């Protein structure tokens, strides 16, 4: 069984979502299915089919979260040095062509949230940055072609 790297905060968020799904949403969808059944013919009952699809999604997500939390390997980012880019570091980079600056935080695959700048350790950008130091350049293959980033700073979460 392969371990999944995760921050303590990321694990807590997954556990909270799992609890919400098991204790609230699972019961709400059971009620919705029961109500839809009362409307009669199930073969043409859109509410019933929608509720069943939602139930399937919830049960699938519960299984996924249970698997992720059981395989979680919590990494204490406070113990990381911050000299090189690793899991749990916050990296400020500059696009070498446009000088546009961006900040990324390297996290596990279940913590990824690009709107917050959280990128997975398995993403092309993270793979190119891991092991680099401030001042180094990293070449990243993107759908629009290769991009070069210069690392401006590295901080620990």
Q: Are strands 72-74 and 145-156 parallel, antiparallel or unpaired?
A: unpaired
CA separation for the pair 16, 68 (Å, rounded): 13
β partners of residue 148: 139
Mean residue pLDDT across the chain:
91
The pLDDT, as a whole number, for residue 67 is: 95
CA separation for the pair 113, 14 (Å, rounded): 13
Tell me the pLDDT of the chain (157 aa) as tens digits.
789 999 999 999 999 999 999 999 999 999 998 888 887 766 777 888 899 999 999 999 999 999 999 999 999 877 777 789 999 999 999 999 898 999 999 999 999 999 999 999 999 999 999 999 999 999 998 888 899 999 999 988 8
Other CB atoms within 10 Å distance of the CB of residue 53: 11
The pLDDT, as a whole number, for residue 112 is: 93
The pLDDT, as a whole number, for residue 18 is: 97
Residues 6+ apart with CB under 8 A from 123: 112
Q: How far is CA 153 from CA 2, 69, 87, 117, in A?
A: 31, 31, 15, 15
The pLDDT, as a whole number, for residue 63 is: 97
| Token pair in block for residue 68 | 């992720």
Domains and CATH numbers, the chain: 4-74 (1.10.287.180), 79-156 (3.10.50.30)
């Amino acid at each position: 069984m392969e371990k999944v790297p995760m921050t303590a905060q990321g694990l807590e968020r997954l556990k909270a979502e799992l609890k919400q799904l098991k204790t609230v949403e699972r019961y709400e969808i059971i009620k919705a299915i029961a109500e839809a059944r009362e409307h009669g013919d199930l073969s043409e009952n859109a509410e019933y089919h929608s509720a069943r699809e939602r139930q399937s999604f919830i049960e699938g997500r519960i299984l996924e979260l249970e698997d992720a939390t059981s395989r979680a390997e919590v990494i204490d980012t406070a113990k990381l040095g911050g000299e090189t880019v690793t899991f749990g570091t916050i990296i400020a980079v500059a696009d070498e062509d446009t000088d546009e600056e961006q900040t990324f935080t390297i996290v596990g695959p279940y913590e990824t949230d690009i709107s917050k700048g959280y990128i997975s350790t398995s993403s092309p950008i993270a793979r190119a940055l891991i092991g680099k130091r401030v001042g180094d350049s990293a070449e990243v293959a993107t759908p629009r072609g290769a991009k070069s980033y210069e690392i401006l700073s590295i901080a620990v979460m």
